[in-house]
Amino acid sequence: MLGIILWYNADKSVGLVWCEDQGPLAFIGPEVVAPEGVGRLQRGSQIWFDYDEANGFRTVCRIEEVGVVMGGVDPAEVLSNYDKPDTRSVLRVVA
């Protein structure tokens, strides 16, 4: 699965990942280690990973590869464009 790290706490080695299938976010726990030779994980890192799912909750079990870091771009802002609110005018009649 391809994902983008939305939030990552390097001190605790935990984070949240947006998944390409737009399903539930995946949790990175402290037991998950980045592949050898890869820099640290951080917000905006593009990762390829395997996950386990139980009760609609996804947990990253293995990170296969870390790709481009979206420098200077807030991934949450980019992803918010996928779910823009409906901005059409609405007529409300109050009697």
What's 37's domain CATH number?
Answer: 2.40.50.140
Total domains in the fold of the chain: 1
Residue 90 clears pLDDT 80, i.e. is over it: no
**Is residue 60 assigned to a domain?**
yes
**Is residue 80 assigned to a domain?**
no
**Is residue 84 assigned to a domain?**
no
Give the pLDDT of residue 88. Answer: 66
Alpha-carbon torsion, ordered 72, 75, 77, 82, to 10 deg: 140
**Is residue 88 assigned to a domain?**
no
**Domain encompassing residue 21:** 2-72
Residues 41 and 47: their CA atoms lie apart, in Å, by: 9
Structure tokens at 81: 């464009």
**Is residue 90 assigned to a domain?**
no
**Is residue 95 assigned to a domain?**
no
pLDDT tens for residues 24-62? 999 999 999 888 877 678 888 889 999 999 988 999 999
